[in-house]
Amino acid sequence: MGKGKNTTEDNPPTTTTDSTPTARAAATTTDGVRDDIPPLTTYQANAKNDRIDALRLVADSVAQQRQEASRAVISHPAVLALTTAVLAIVFGALYHDRSDLGLVLTTMAGCVMAGLAGVGYATSGYLELAERTGTWAWLYGREREKSGAMKEREKEEDIILVTKYGDEIIGTVVLRLLTSEQNSESSKSKKSKSNAKSKDPGPGFTAVIRAWTVKRRYRTKGIGTGLLEEAVSLCRKNSWEGPVFDEHHANSVRLLPAMFLGDLFEKRETRARRALENVKRRLSSSPS
């Protein structure tokens, strides 16, 4: 998925002792049950190829927003009404007898194609955003465009958790660790120098989710919830705060006015945050 500078190491600094793949679910062998079902595993991706596949998955999720935004625009009542009005005007202006039918239909088709091209142009920014997201530059980027609360001095790699089905990575969650002052503008000016020197993530860090996605055909099957469970467990194990969704996560950009998108993406955002809270609540009530 990603395009960008090829400057990563095959084995980035490990921030958890649980870097070995751990099976979340595997095929079982019993009488009458197939034993050739690929295993489903969730683990921290340290290998370069795994990280590349995870970045591709994140970029794909951003690119898919273009399709959803396009459908939202095309099916918007105002757009449908305008399209109907334009076609009615074309019909009234060009149709006089049956011999004009070919010209009328051709002109109408041209108007529809022009409208679709306009929608495609309006949503093309998602493709550009996807190209920027699926890169090492995005993964290693340490400065927010709209937030001065996150300017880090050290080049530390984000934590990437992946779910693999057989040999295919089908889900990922990207975490970034922020120190206390990076998560609070009020204290960053006093503590940034001292905390920036900390190289062993532990208490005092907050994990933020920069990306969370599952390959489309595997969605609604519990894969995403499993990734959130791994992220929450990792935070508890290392005494980190969180995880919480980053306000500027990979899928947070809205390129079209709200009147066209409505609450399409906001509903999804709400469901994601609710899913995370449910996982936290469930794991908090279970034995550590």
Residue-wise pLDDT for 198-225, tens only, equals 344 556 789 999 999 999 999 989 999 9
CA distances from 270 to 146, 245, 265, 274, 275 (A): 22, 11, 9, 6, 9
Does residue 154 have a pLDDT over 70? no
pLDDT score, position 34: 58
Helix (H, G, I), strand (E, B) or coil at 262: coil
What's the pTM? 0.72
Q: Residue ranges per domain, the chain?
A: 48-136, 156-184+201-285
Q: What pLDDT, on a 0 to 100 scale, did the predictor assign at position 261? A: 78
Residue 247 has pLDDT above 70, yes or no: yes
5, 12, 253, 262, 281 from 268: Cα distances, Å: 32, 32, 13, 12, 20
Q: Is the dihedral of CA 277, 281, 287, 288 positive or negative?
A: positive
Average pLDDT over residues 11-25: 43
pLDDT at 262: 73
The mean pLDDT of the chain is 79
CA distance 122 to 69: 9
Class of domain 156-184+201-285: alpha beta
Q: Is the pLDDT at 42 greater than 50, yes or no?
A: yes
Residue 73 pLDDT > 50 = yes
Give the pLDDT mean for 185-201. Answer: 40
Q: Which residues pair with 40 in a beta bridge?
A: 25, 165
Give tens-digit pLDDT for 115-142: 999 999 999 999 999 999 888 889 887 5
For residue 6, what pLDDT is reported? 44
Provide the pLDDT for residue 36.
Answer: 72
